[in-house]
Amino acid sequence: MFVAWCLGFGISPMDLTNLETKIKVQFKDRNLLQSALTHRSYLNENRKWPLAHNERLEFLGDAVLELITTEYLYRNFPNPEGELTNLRSALVNYKMLSEIASELGLDNYILLSKGEAKDTGRARQVILANAMEALIGAMYMDSGFEVTRGFITEFVIQQLEKILSDGKVLDPKSKFQELTQEKLGVTPNYKVLAEWGPDHNKNFEVGVFVNDRQIASGVGSSKQEGEIAAAENGLKVSDL
């Protein structure tokens, strides 16, 4: 029906067969797959496009991806919660997801406005990562949990060995910096707010700031430990 609709309005529907071959999943409902690849900006220039943009599917896919990777890490690594969180972050951050999306050739299928299509660097990485999450959401809706688990295991979790060998597991400061750069396009900075105690037993309260706004603070026995504690608390703040 979607193909007929496109032809009726003189629009050439995108052939997604090669992509399905690449991801090793054949969709029963191609509309879900096409929606996962439709960026909001495309609708601004193509008002008659019949499908929704991919943000709702991205929302769903993000949750599915986090659940499946978390379960895998829990079952296969005896590490404490903090280390598991770092491992998961290294697997599902936008840079990693954009790399996987590029390897799958997803950028050849995403529908964008002419302006967005010219974006490069971090902006393009975020678009690719979001489309990757939307693809996972669409896959879950179309084929269910086990098929989606298989896809995530083969294309996302298999990156874990490389992440570990390359030492790419993110510490709290790196994670917080990545988060602020992804959401706001800025790098956080740290300031010592207070220090107390004798020289052999100093304590430092350090604040982490974004655009001169204090997001959180933390206390440590050194400035570096205070910064790490501040970053950990910053990661818990929902409103950046």
Q: What gap in Å lies between CA 163 and CA 174, rounded to an integer?
A: 15
The per-residue pLDDT for range 208-228, each reduced to its tens digit, is 999 999 999 999 877 888 898
Q: Do domains 2-166 and 172-234 have the same CATH topology?
A: no
| pLDDT (mean) for 15-41 | 95
Does residue 93 register a pLDDT over 70? yes
CA 145, 151, 153, 159 dihedral sign is negative
Q: Domain coordinates of the chain in residue numbers? A: 2-166, 172-234
Residue 58 annotated among the catalytic residues of the structure: no
CATH homologous superfamily for the domain 2-166: Ribonuclease III domain (1.10.1520.10)
Per-residue confidence (pLDDT) for residue 5, from 0 to 100: 44
What CATH number belongs to 172-234? 3.30.160.20
Does residue 11 register a pLDDT over 70? no
What is the band of 125 on the pLDDT scale with cuts at 50, 70, 90? confident
| Closest to 127 (Cα-Cα) out of 54, 180, 61, 186 | 54
What is the band of 117 on the pLDDT scale with cuts at 50, 70, 90? confident
Average pLDDT of the chain is 88
Partners of 117 in beta bridges: none
Q: What gap in Å lies between CA 15 and CA 132, rounded to an integer?
A: 18
Of residues 58, 62, 142, 227, which has the active-site annotation?
A: 62
Q: What gap in Å lies between CA 73 and CA 93, rounded to an integer?
A: 15
Residue 62 annotated among the catalytic residues of the structure: yes
Of residues 15, 29, 116, 133, which has the active-site annotation?
A: 133
